[in-house]
Structure 1
Amino acid sequence: MGMKSKLKRFFELEDEFEEVEEYDERFVNEEIEPKRRSRSQQTKPQAAPQNVVSLQSVQKGTKVILLEPTTYDEAQEIADHLKNRKAVIINLQRISYDQAKRIVDFLSGTVYAIGGDIQKVGSNIFLCTPDNVDVSGTITEMIQEFEA
């Protein structure tokens, strides 16, 4: 088979025929020339079942955890939530500035390690997300829109 016919066959420019042997029971002992059917006359093969994912199952798996740590020791618990692919909102308003800074530094490293993101969403409030959560826009843009 030449390259030209292969290209025609690939792009279906040339009708393909499939040989189908049909027998008449009266002439079983005689040879009968096989009949040819064009591709359009052939029965289409059944499509293989496709993978279907329920959107409800995807939504049930996504969680956002709200936390207000009171000590630096709770930073590891927050990091564990992130490792389990859960978004975390952290309110650091009830903790000293030094400890809040240490927690943010620790979580910044954690988020970097898992390929996630950390964003400030308010005064001493941060959103930490793993790599499976996309966050678009920023809070400061929204505040500027209301002031204008």
Structure 2
Amino acid sequence: MNEILNQLGALILGSIPTMVLFIVLVIAYGVLVRRPLENILAKRRALTTGALEQAKGAMSAAEAETVVFEDKLRGAKSEIFQAREAKLKEWNGQREQSLAQARTVTQERVAAAKGEIERSMAEAMQQIETMSGELSASIIKAVLPAGVNGAEVAQ
């Protein structure tokens, strides 16, 4: 058992430099690697958080601008619709004026044509009356003997 204890003591005595080196290595790691790494990670986290907050702010601003844009778009659509309605009313008014002018011109032409027809009819009636008198005289001459007068037959 003594021998085991001696071996164990020699083993512990031989591991002391390794333990000292391990402790120095852990302290050096903490000083040289871990602390600068934690500082860098903290800075990155701060920058990332700041970037996220900036992104959220930008998104909020974009949403506000979207609302303003939608309002402007709605207003522009309304103006276009009103302008379209006004143009349609103007065109309808122009069409009505054109139709009224066409009606007036057509009525004048119809009246002129009626007057022309009435004049032609009056001339034709006069010609018919004149020709009927001549025709009746020539019929009477053709039907009656040569010595008889048409006035005598009428009595």
Higher strand share: 1
Q: TM-score, normalised by structure 1?
A: 0.21
Work out which structure has the larger RCO, using CA pairs closer than 8 Å and 6 or more positions apart in sequence: 1
Higher helix share: 2
